[in-house]
Structure 1
């Protein structure tokens, strides 16, 4: 009996940790629930139940085993971690990993830093901003201005996240910097169309993955998660719009 309890505890820990990593790395709600259910079924537990929201995961099994809750306090986008967890899930389904071995591998993924370096993320935002500006029919003469505006704004967002606990203010200040830089550049004849420059520069800040996941969750019937993610995306869009509006009004 004690051996079964220990094994069941490890299975619950594997399911919860896999779900936590996926959810905090940008995976959709239905994918998280499906992965947890498949892992439990692979270890012989056919009757498992999971309830996933953007801020927490509840997982339980039929019987006397305890229901457990994990709180998700930080969320980012790291699809490489999601891919690695999916790989471990497939290994579990094929019988290649025991619960203890899977738990060790998942803990390694949890503490690993698989994201691209900050300088590379900023450089990608730098190039993307100019490309988005061109895509929205801007002028090539404004390309570098849009690149610098987007690079400055994204840099501010990255480093302000470490200083400010409330994400809204970091996004607001980042968009304010973009609007101010674009307006000053056009005022000194370094750029032509301030609107096209701003549109291109704010695109790296737009929560595209969050909006996509919100729509997909709503379509698949996860109404709580879909509405919560939609509200978060709306707040981010409001922060970006407010920062640009303040910059244009006062400048």
Structure 2
């Protein structure tokens, strides 16, 4: 009986680790729950329940096996879809019998400890190029391409920099959008830019919570009302912070 309980504990720990990685990296709620339950079933826990919210995961086993319930708190969330894909790949290997419990735990711990994001300079360059391209996509003029690149890159740089010192994400987004609006106004005022609105629209796109909105809608459609509404509220607050930063510039300048 003792070995059975210990084995069940190890299985649940691996499932919770996989769910934690996915949820912290931007995975949808229903995907996290489905992955955890499939992994548990593949390791022998046929009857399990999982309840996932953006801030925590509850997982339990039931049936003839020992009934065990564990919880994991989610303190930070970011966007790293590569980690989500890697955990999905490990889950498929587990379900097909290609990975043992020990091997799965080792690979998951390795994924959890790694930083798979692109180097910060590349992120800034990508945000700059995306800002210029979005500006053109919104019917901007080519003369505003360089100002949009500079404004968008500076805004993203400011967002990451402020977020390191201020843990409140919405405050960082407000300051970043404030920088974007101020730089766009300066470029237009100096004659280096023509369309203030197009420069601002293109530059703030790197801050827009696109993944949050998508996940909120998908969770709502899948019936996860708590997660869907909370993610929708987070996306709304993010959009409000971005809009407030731009509104301050337009109001006073």
- Which category describes the TM-score, using the shorter chain as reference length? over 0.9
Instruction: Choose which of 100, 117, 120 in structure 2 pairs with 1:115.
Output: 117
- Say if 1:10 and 1:100, in contact at 8 Å, map to a contact too: no
Partner of 1:153: 155
The superposition leaves residues 105-132 of structure 1 with CA deviations (integer Å, 9 ceiling, x where unpaired) of: 1111001010111111110000000000
Contact 2:62–2:68 (8 Å) recurs in 1: no
**Displacement of 1:205 after TM fit?**
0.3
1:65 deviates by 2.9
The answer to whether the Cα contact below 8 Å between 1:176 and 1:243 also exists between their aligned partners in 2 is: yes
In structure 2, what is the Cα distance between the partners aligned to 1:204 and 1:11?
39
Residue equivalent to 1:43: 43
Name the counterpart of 1:5.
5
Unaligned runs of at least 5 residues, structure 2: none
Give secondary structure in 2 for the equivalent of 1:60: strand
Report deviation, 1:46. Answer: 1.2
Counterpart pick for 2:236 among 214, 234, 237: 234
The 1-side partners of 2:4 and 2:92 are apart by 23
Take 1:7 and 1:104, find their aligned partners in 2: how far apart are those partners? Answer: 16
Deviation at 1:203, TM superposition (A): 0.4
- How far 1:161 sits from its partner (Å)? 1.2
TM-score (norm 1): 0.98
Distance in 2 (alpha carbons) for counterparts of 1:240 and 1:33: 32
CA positional deviation for 1:66: 2.4
Shift of 1:50: 0.2
- Name stretches of at least 5 consecutive residues in structure 1 with no aligned partner: none
Q: Which residue of 2 aligns with 1:79?
A: 81
After the TM superposition, which parts of structure 1 deviate over 4 Å for at least 4 consecutive aligned residues? none
Check the 8 A contact 1:16/1:36 in 2, yes or no: yes
CA RMSD of aligned residues (A): 0.8
- The answer (yes or no) to whether the contact 2:151–2:203 under 8 Å persists in 1 is yes
Q: Is the 8 A contact 1:132 1:200 kept in 2?
A: yes
